[in-house]
Copies of this chain bind each other. A is one copy, B any other.
């Protein structure tokens, strides 16, 4: 559930260039296969700078995760030009049917490995607590806006936001770690859920 990363086309500064190299190395090697040396391979600009800034791969990855979350947070207001139901649909599709399927799958796999670090590492857990709060809040606000507009029923937006959030996370977790091919059924059922439980008609 990461916004299409525009910094990949044209990094605006050194930090964005480092983040681009990290993104590419993560897609290529995953968390387990990643080393700062491998990120440096994609980051010809200034290898010594990379080593200077980050003591360990985890430190760099935690910075990468914050960077991606900030990018997402900044993209939320722009998304508000679309009507609420359309916005939900876009989130569903970005999560489970990324435009570039191969790259989307690689990135989802790497993020799944990063998230699993949170099971034993407080620093990752703190990040994912933030991450989940921000994504859930974006879903909840979309549902609340739909209620205000009269297109959604008077539902418990917090509860439904939590429910949709874990369904998307579970779908991404499954595609990253087991069989792909169930995404279409999940998307279908999510849309049926929205039309049965949320839509006011």
Please list the residues of chain A having a beta carbon within 8 angstroms of any beta carbon in chain B: 30-33, 109-110, 112-113, 115-121, 124-125, 128-129, 131-133, 158-160, 162-163, 165-171, 173-174, 176-179, 182, 185-186, 188-190, 192-193, 196-197
Contacts and interface: CB of A to CB of B under 8 A. Distances in A.
Q: Identify which of A160, A166, A190 gathers the most chain B CB atoms within 10 Å of its CB.
A: A166
Given A116-B116, A169-B174, 19 more contacts: A32-B117, A32-B119, A109-B119, A110-B119, A113-B116, A113-B119, A113-B120, A119-B176, A125-B178, A128-B178, A129-B179, A158-B185, A159-B188, A166-B171, A166-B173, A166-B182, A166-B186, A173-B173, A196-B196
A177 B30 contact: no
A23 to B, nearest CB: 16
Contacts of A169: 170, 173-174
Contacts of A128: 177-178
Nearest to A160: B189
Contacts of A132: 174, 178-179
A100 to B, nearest CB: 18
Contacts of A124: 177
The 9 closest A-B pairs by CB, nearest first: A170-B170, A116-B116, A166-B170, A118-B177, A169-B170, A163-B189, A109-B119, A128-B178, A30-B120
Nearest to A114: B116
B186 A163 contact: yes
B185 A159 contact: yes
Contacts of A121: 32
A109 to B, nearest CB: 4
A33 B163 contact: no
B173 A171 contact: no
Contact of A115 (B116, B131, B171): B116
A127 to B, nearest CB: 9
6 contacts: A119-B177, A125-B177, A129-B179, A162-B189, A192-B197, A196-B196
